[in-house]
Structure 1
Amino acid sequence: WRRVAHIISDEIFERLSGDSGYFDTRIVYVAESGPQNKRLKRLAIMDQDGENHQYLTDGSFLVLTPRFSPTTQEITYLAYFKNEPRVYIFNLETGQQELLGSFPGMTFAPRFSPSGEKIIMSLAEKGVTDIYTMDLNNQKVERLTNSPSIDTSPSFSPDGKKIIFNSDRGGTQQLYIMDSNGRNIKRISFGKGRYATPVWAPKGELIAFTKMLKNKFYIGVMSPDGSGERLLAQGYLVEGPTWAPNGRVLMYFKQEAPIDDGKSASVNLFKIDITGFRETRIVTPTDGSDPAWSPLLPN
């Protein structure tokens, strides 16, 4: 009955606002527990309101940055197995997972392309971090950037024609846009501070990001040309924005200031309207980080 209620809520939302809803969606995230020096991290999934919670991995290996496929009920994530980073695809319908490969130089977990046929990621080699894509049909890897800087956190535009990423090629960590083939690289962030973890809105009109300025972290949005920057949330550590499928709400995680007693500071999931109002904590059984929002579930 909860699923039916979510579907009805989406229909009401669409009639009132003209936009599709986000109630019939799920969140995958990293569930964290234990002390700082022995942190247990498991993949977990739940409805967008925190209900129907379940764990997908048992904590026997470290997992990071899960990301949903835009076209299927699959997620890709980064796992450390015997201290070696590996990329997996997890099928949520069957519970089966597939190893895509081991990437010793991986610095950021992959994201799917809008078609779901490629993943994009950053790999480090000989002290240089560049952006690559992998074709999931033939596992062919293509290098997109080639610079002595650190290029990371790539995210496709909804039409697949552009890529947003962050790079220190200009001396500080800033946001850049390039064509999907790696050409025409252009810086778009010019505000004070450093920028990271950019992700394109589902309709393409905004880019969400993490900003670091004067010992504080912020979640913000800007237009793809860099104009109209707005900061929506702030805290000691606020990071990892992910969009609701209608582009009206962002989810992210917040960590409190560390405590000097061997315990880890609390880490929780929050969501906020893109107007900057109605920040709400999503209650989870344990601490939570690295959320990723699913597309609307198939009927």
Structure 2
Amino acid sequence: MDAPSVPIEQSATGLEDEGGLTGSVSDEKAWQDLGIAIPGFATDINLPTPANAQGTAALGRELARVITADLKNNGLFLPVGPDALPQPAFGEITAPAWPTWQTRNADMLVQGYVRAGGDGRLTVGCYLYDVSLQSELVRQGWVVQPADWRRAAHKCADLVYSRLSGEAPFFDSKIAYIAETGPKNNRVKRLAIMDSDGANHRFITTGQSTALTPRYSPDYGSIVYLSYLRGNPRIFVYNIASGSQRLVTQSSNPTFAPRWSPDGKYILYSMAVNGNTDIYRVSAQGGQSQRLTSGPGIDVGGSYSPDGSRIVFESDRSGSQQCYVMNADGSNQKRISFFGGRCATPEWSPRGDQIAFTHIAGNFRIAVMSPAGSNVRALTDSWQDEAPTWAPNGR
């Protein structure tokens, strides 16, 4: 049997524009409450594949499990995975058995297929249906190497999420972090990356020197991080495609807290000179740094607004840690935190409407506020929660 017709992407390196939109989501429920049935992905011939020792049939169920976990962990949908659902026949992928899903109270249906090609690569197709309207909403497919089968699942989850929510997807992304290993008296901190769901962990640095504070570039092609490779903490950029790394800051003064500008052209960081710490920016290619703050006190933790026009940072220039905002060139610096206690580690939302920060008032709590410092709202209420980071979609 021929595979169902689906636009195919030749690699899993990025998302194409979503095509095949054929209908609107029924408005009987808010999209956050939608029940989504995700049965195992079908295959016409169960063929062996390095992706799964039991063949493409078992791999189809694994694909559906990953998609289910993505949508469940997001907390906005009510997905039901393949272990609790009947397995559709291959021919039902483009012609769903509507009564089956209506009796299971499914609002949406995600179906798909997986095939192993003669060259060893896998073709994965993903379809989203509105069960109430009995119509297809969107479809897309990908050709991937067997080792990238999880990426195809994440891309399908991205397709579903963005179609139903209207928001940018994020499941097919990676997390850069510091992995700490070794005996208690000789810990090793290495730069590492993993998928957004914790799978496919791998180390980037050898552990020869301590690595800290990694940040992905806006295009996810590079990671900026702090390394003690040559003594003092200095800023390096690691290129993911080539595996090469380069030193960005040549100064012998301690540098720390590197951050990318939204367009990826600049790196924001803090540097201590003669006991005074200020915020600087430098071209991502290296070169002469520009000092953005000056005067007594410690200025650290800069985070750009999404449009790159402003920077939020923390400073103790008033006598205690507080949050400030300035223009991207360092002008118009003003304090925004006047709510009692201290304000630290501010992080601008990708949506631009909020700033997350650590509120220190006896204990440490994660809170959010508007860019002007109003509408303060605590998100946690435990003893030591600090250093928040936003999800890519700003939720």
Q: Offset at 1:86?
A: 1.8
TM-score for the superposition, normalised by structure 2 = 0.60
The aligned counterpart of 1:117 is 265
TM-score for the superposition, normalised by structure 1 = 0.78
- What is the aligned counterpart of 1:73 among 192, 205, 221? 221
Distance 2:343 2:252 in 1: 25
Contact 2:248 2:285 in 1 (8 A): no
SS state at 1:32 partner: strand
- What is the aligned counterpart of 2:170 among 11, 22, 25? 22
Distance 1:114 1:191 in 2: 29
Q: Find out whether 1:7 has 2:183 as its counterpart.
A: no
Distance 2:374 2:220 in 1: 33
Instruction: Please say which of residues 28-37 and 3-12 is displaced more in the overlay.
Output: 28-37
Distance 2:338 2:380 in 1: 19
Distance 1:150 1:192 in 2: 20
Contact 1:108 1:153 in 2 (8 A): no
- Give deviations 1:79-126, integer Å, cap 9, x for gaps: 012531121100112211111134443353211111111101111111
Distance 1:118 1:102 in 2: 15
Q: 1:170 to 1:107 in 2, by over 3 A?
A: farther
The aligned counterpart of 1:227 is 374
Q: Offset at 1:137?
A: 4.0
Contact 1:157 1:164 in 2 (8 A): yes
Distance 2:366 2:255 in 1: 21
Q: Find out whether 1:237 has 2:384 as its counterpart.
A: yes
Q: Offset at 1:37?
A: 4.0
Contact 2:178 2:191 in 1 (8 A): yes
Letter in 1 for 2:246: E
Contact 1:89 1:100 in 2 (8 A): yes
Matches within 5 A, 1:156-171: 156-171=304-319
- Give deviations 1:46-86, integer Å, cap 9, x for gaps: 01110111111121101110111113410100001253112
Contact 1:33 1:41 in 2 (8 A): yes
Q: Find out whether 1:182 has 2:330 as its counterpart.
A: yes
- What is the aligned counterpart of 1:100 among 227, 239, 248? 248
Q: Find out whether 1:127 has 2:275 as its counterpart.
A: yes
- What is the aligned counterpart of 2:296 among 140, 144, 148? 148
Q: 1:138 to 1:156 in 2, by over 3 A?
A: same
- Give deviations 1:258-284, integer Å, cap 9, x for gaps: xxxxxxxxxxxxxxxxxxxxxxxxxxx
5+ residue gaps in structure 2?
Answer: 1-148
Contact 1:84 1:102 in 2 (8 A): no
5+ residue gaps in structure 1?
Answer: 249-299
Letter in 2 for 1:197: T
SS state at 1:15 partner: helix
Give the number of aligned pairs. 247
Contact 1:103 1:123 in 2 (8 A): no
Distance 1:191 1:34 in 2: 42
Letter in 1 for 2:317: R
The aligned counterpart of 1:294 is none
Distance 1:169 1:156 in 2: 20
Letter in 2 for 1:63: A
Q: Identity percentage over the alignment?
A: 50
Distance 2:150 2:274 in 1: 51
Q: 1:191 to 1:108 in 2, by over 3 A?
A: farther
More helix by share: 2
Contact 1:41 1:59 in 2 (8 A): yes
Distance 1:5 1:104 in 2: 46
Matches within 5 A, 1:271-290: none
Contact 1:76 1:110 in 2 (8 A): yes
CA RMSD of aligned residues (A): 1.7
The aligned counterpart of 1:282 is none
SS state at 2:151 partner: helix
Distance 2:195 2:313 in 1: 29
Q: Find out whether 1:136 has 2:281 as its counterpart.
A: no
Q: Offset at 1:15?
A: 2.1
The aligned counterpart of 1:90 is 238
Instruction: Please say which of residues 139-148 and 191-200 is displaced more in the overlay.
Output: 191-200
Q: Offset at 1:139?
A: 1.4
Distance 2:303 2:203 in 1: 26
Q: Offset at 1:208?
A: 1.4
Contact 2:260 2:268 in 1 (8 A): yes
Letter in 2 for 1:144: L
- What is the aligned counterpart of 2:195 among 31, 41, 47? 47
